[in-house]
Amino acid sequence: MKSNRFLLLKGSGVVYAKGLLLKGVVINCHASDGYSTLYDGLDDTSGRKVCRVNGQSKVSTQLDFGEGLRLERGLYVSFGDHTDEILVYFDPWEIVPETEE
């Protein structure tokens, strides 16, 4: 299944402000201890920490989530030390209300 959306970030910020299926990320760093942290939410204080992606110096590091990791409140990426950019690929989704029978 291919992703419909790609976003290249050069700094911390909101990737998408609604529910999504996170398919993966690619991180580029200028030092071996570069990292970024991903949150289910719109910031790094109220969002739920999903994972920390570590990068290597001058090498693209990819983390793939296969069919997708469901994030209900959106996606916020916080840049750590030595991170140059991070490419995020995802599919938006909408919550379908449950029907009463």
Average pLDDT over residues 13-32: 95
Task: Collect all residues with Cβ–Cβ distance below 8 Å to 51 and sequence separation of at least 6.
Answer: 37, 38, 63
pLDDT at position 93 is 82
Comparing CA positions, the residue from 41, 31, 36 lying closest to residue 12 is 36
Q: Name which of 10, 29, 27, 12 is nearest 75 in CA terms.
A: 12
Asked if the model's pLDDT at residue 101 lies above 60, the reply is no
Residue 100 has pLDDT above 90, yes or no: no
Domain ranges of the chain: 5-92
44-66: pLDDT as tens digits:
999 999 999 999 998 899 999 99
Top CATH class of 5-92 equals mainly beta
Instruction: Check residue 2 and give its pLDDT.
Output: 59
Question: Which is more confidently placed, 98 or 82?
Answer: 82
Token readout for 52 is: 């920390």
What residues contact 26, with CB distance under 8 A and at least 6 apart?
Answer: 60, 61, 62, 63, 86, 87
